[in-house]
Structure 1
Amino acid sequence: MSKAMKELVRQHQECDDQLNRCEAALHKGDMASAGRNFRLFNEQLNGHFTLEENKLFPALEQATGMVNGPTSVMRSEHAEIRNLRDEAYAAIEANQPEAALAAIDTLNVLIQQHNVKEENILYPMCGGSIPDLEDKLGMGSPCCGACSCG
């Protein structure tokens, strides 16, 4: 597995872990911690989706010529995930732990199904189709593209 694919899978795991921390806090009735953890989850999720939607998906579409294929499905699933995320966050902000837990339960299922498709279908397709994938994702420089040194 390429460096880029490993990083994308790592990002999935980080999002999962952060959402699990939020869920644990909700079960304990710690709404402040749940809110903090959910905001961190949201930041990680947004960063991951931005990388995929602005770099990975366009690179795959350019390499394969498929614009209404897997990337279209993934974008649609991202929209569903965002809607559930917003529902869960609204419940946390309204101090409704049971509603938040219900939304997060559904969100977890959707995210896991989505990640399986990306990790087992989309990412291998990208790895085999996109030349210089690490560079296209900003991961080719020694600092992984986080600064202008590369």
Structure 2
Amino acid sequence: MNAISSYLGSDHTRCDDFFIQAETNVSNGAWEQAEVSLAQFTEALERHFTMEEKVMFPEFEQATGSSAGPTAVMRMEHQQLRSIVALMRDALAARDAESYLGHSETLNTMMQQHNMKEESILYLMADRVLSGRQEEIISAMTSIDAPA
């Protein structure tokens, strides 16, 4: 049986790989490749957020009877992360490596903290409270397309 924690945890790694590639491209002044890499990262991140916000979080909230707990905090953090990604896109469009790298450093720190909370707390809780429904939930998350 697949675990929600494993599925979403490995998706964090997939997003991280795109993030690192974009940051490397900006550092090297490879602007066109950086645009591609940042677009891939943004798409992967939005798909990840969508899987959580449209599938896992609602299922978790229904099972626990609460939408005011950890999922509310994660949704708020998703919005903060989206705001920083927007600043990175602006810096990339301006070909401002210093600004981009400053924002990416902030994003990286926030993502690490966010992912740690999800992986060490929320996802493990989801594995427990959604036990027996994990395959169904993972299947629903897998079918999510990246937002346009």
Deviation at 1:137, TM superposition (A): 3.4
- Within 5 Å, give how 1:1-150 maps onto structure 2: 2-131=2-131, 132-138=133-139, 145=143
Deviation at 1:44, TM superposition (A): 0.3
Partners of 1:51 and 1:137 within 8 A in 2: no
Q: How many residue pairs are counted as aligned between the two chains?
A: 143
Distance (Å, rounded) in 1 between the aligned partners of 2:139 and 2:88: 31
Deviation at 1:136, TM superposition (A): 2.4
Partners of 1:31 and 1:97 within 8 A in 2: no
Distance (Å, rounded) in 2 between the aligned partners of 1:124 and 1:136: 14
Partners of 1:15 and 1:41 within 8 A in 2: yes
User: SS at 1:98's partner residue?
Assistant: helix
Partners of 1:19 and 1:41 within 8 A in 2: yes
- Aligned residue identity for 1:71: T
Deviation at 1:145, TM superposition (A): 4.3
Partners of 1:2 and 1:127 within 8 A in 2: no
Whose relative contact order is higher, 1 or 2, with alpha carbons under 8 Å and at least 6 apart?
Answer: 2
Distance (Å, rounded) in 2 between the aligned partners of 1:27 and 1:136: 39
Q: TM-score scaled to structure 1, two decimals? A: 0.89
Partners of 2:19 and 2:41 within 8 A in 1: yes
Deviation at 1:10, TM superposition (A): 1.0
Unaligned runs of 5+ in 1: none
Partners of 1:56 and 1:136 within 8 A in 2: yes
Q: TM-score scaled to structure 2, two decimals? A: 0.91
